[in-house]
Structure 1
């Protein structure tokens, strides 16, 4: 083989060798990539944030009338001639509700007036006789006994006038009782009056919710009773979902020895509009007491996974693998949940995708937006509306 041939073959050999080495390198890299573990999921992570959460206490109880007025008959043996109101009617103080027949009372009233006039006429004559007797006392024309009789007759006549006036006042009062009027403003809740009925004194004709006001009688355990003070705010929720705000009026001084619950009386405003249909006396309702606010360590709701009845979060380790950690939860506000134990504020936990992970999974972490701390009621940013869903677990 001559020099010319060698010069031609040598570059070809070098090119083939380079191509072989390049192909071998690609094959080695492919094998190495094939052997590398794959991430189970792409997730976002975050650290717990500090938020100010409301402190609430949930309870159940009945809605009752604030005060009920029993409106009865004060007339005896009279016939009802008119009934003006029915159940559900709103009445004002002094409004006429029903009336009785006044014929008998008017006759007795006329008789009482005549008796008074007769007593006044007899008293005038007795007073004149007594005056003459006093003028003749010094002359001796009348005996001491006769003078005493005239003076006594005068006093008796005055007493008969007083008696006749009292009888007249009694008949005037009976006439007043023929008109049954509302003792206060409110709503008629029951009616027993029937036109044409002859009722006795003391018979209940109507029952009225005074001023239309209701109250929530919440049942609270003895352990939680000391946390509630008069004036504390409360939100009562009806079966329809409507809510009504009120204030604690008084805490019962005793606890029921049978169930160990005490009643807390919450004043509710007179319901109007949709609330009037949602809140009725006798209904069962749930509610919560607002007891203030406190600082809490929170995580987004989606970061907490419930498995086998327990709450867990997935902690991101330096090797990009996750560890399942059992945590204790507390209050909830909007999409945030309080973490009371299990992790600290420096723990990096999985937020998005936590529900699809298992202990030890390899994940690919991407940057997430910062977590906005939850705000307690009264804070800016519309937290007041979100606070309506908060409850103490």
Structure 2
């Protein structure tokens, strides 16, 4: 049988522990959190894609006649205009061929004139029956042959003139002339199409990028559901971010979208045309493209600091019934001026905790204040007036 004094001591101890626990619960304050109530608004639907810069036009300058390079007449890496001479090929052989063609033309013209005179003379004789009809027909045939020889000689002169002109190698387009692929004194051949240099037009430029087929299907589904409104002209503006993080000052637009999926990569190719007046964008440069594919008429925007990023995705803490904090998984889209665009998981009018969620667990009861109210409260010295 237990001693009566021991029972009294144990009862007093339990009573004391219960009082301390109640005092601790009363002493623990309710966490104060700042909340916002996002409302639906219209925001651009921005798709971020990686891209590469490509010259809008690339012309390979190749030899069109055989010969020796006499001179390079441009400075490598500088701007040239269409028609500017880049190289000079030794023209002497082409000039000699032109001289020979012109001589053949003169001889053909002389032969044709003689044949025409014979026909006129034979015409009067055949009418007087001084010569036979067969002799007259032969003279007519010789005239036709002579005239055909004139046409052939004229074509040979034109061909020789072109070959002589091709010894002056000119830029076919405006652009930047690259490094010379041959040196002065090198032999070039028309049959091989010897590459001399390249001219690239850099204003404007193309930016090539690709979008996964799954993202494309999701985009089309949102458009069909009315979550995204497209512009009537279906021109999608494009902004670029350079490799150093700076924003490119000129905007472009999407001018090409492939109608098939690349089997090897499972992506759809697209292309944007972007102004490049300062030639800041160079072929092969890596950029981040922000494509504005319509607008979201009922989008929700929340501050970046309210979003909890984990390996499984994004989530926020919202204030539910009885002012209890609840963890909510969301899907975020693009970032706009330090705010996330919420694609799914949040409804308009819900209270989203933007400050004070770090030490909360699901089910914790909280005290709600508007953003900035807690700082004002601390500045006044707590609850003191």
TM value normalised by structure 2: 0.74
Q: SS of the residue aligned with 2:40?
A: strand
Contact 1:326 1:342 in 2 (8 A): yes
Shift of 1:264: 0.8
What is the CA–CA distance in structure 2 between the aligned matches of 1:341 and 1:217, rounded to whole Å?
30
Match of 1:247 among 246, 253, 274: 253
Contact 1:66 1:214 in 2 (8 A): yes
Where does residue 152 of structure 2 map in the other structure? 163
After superposition, the Cα gap between the structure-2 partners of 1:367 and 1:144, relative to the gap in structure 1 and judged at 3 Å, is closer
Match of 1:121 among 105, 110, 114: 110
Where does residue 290 of structure 1 map in the other structure? 292
Where does residue 306 of structure 2 map in the other structure? 303
Contact 2:202 2:282 in 1 (8 A): no
Contact 2:55 2:202 in 1 (8 A): no
Cα deviation 1:324-371 (Å, max 9, x = unaligned): 42331423422333456666544444433333445566766555469x
Q: SS of the residue aligned with 1:98?
A: strand
Cα deviation 1:41-82 (Å, max 9, x = unaligned): 554333333333321222223322223222211112x11112
Q: SS of the residue aligned with 1:286?
A: strand
Q: SS of the residue aligned with 1:52?
A: strand
Give unpaired runs (5+ residues) of structure 2.
1-21, 221-229, 374-385
What is the CA–CA distance in structure 2 between the aligned matches of 1:71 and 1:94, rounded to whole Å?
12
TM value normalised by structure 1: 0.72
Matched, 1:354 2:357: yes
Contact 2:62 2:197 in 1 (8 A): yes
Where does residue 379 of structure 2 map in the other structure? none
Cα deviation 1:178-211 (Å, max 9, x = unaligned): 1112222222245323211111102222222246
Where does residue 27 of structure 1 map in the other structure? none
Matches within 5 A, 1:308-387: 311-313=315-317, 315=319, 322-331=324-333, 332-339=335-342, 344-358=347-361, 366-368=369-371
After superposition, the Cα gap between the structure-2 partners of 1:43 and 1:231, relative to the gap in structure 1 and judged at 3 Å, is closer
Give unpaired runs (5+ residues) of structure 1.
1-31, 371-393
Match of 1:208 among 194, 199, 210: 199
Where does residue 84 of structure 2 map in the other structure? 95
Where does residue 71 of structure 1 map in the other structure? 61
Contact 2:332 2:344 in 1 (8 A): no
Where does residue 177 of structure 2 map in the other structure? 188
Contact 2:325 2:366 in 1 (8 A): no
Shift of 1:263: 0.6
Q: SS of the residue aligned with 1:299?
A: strand
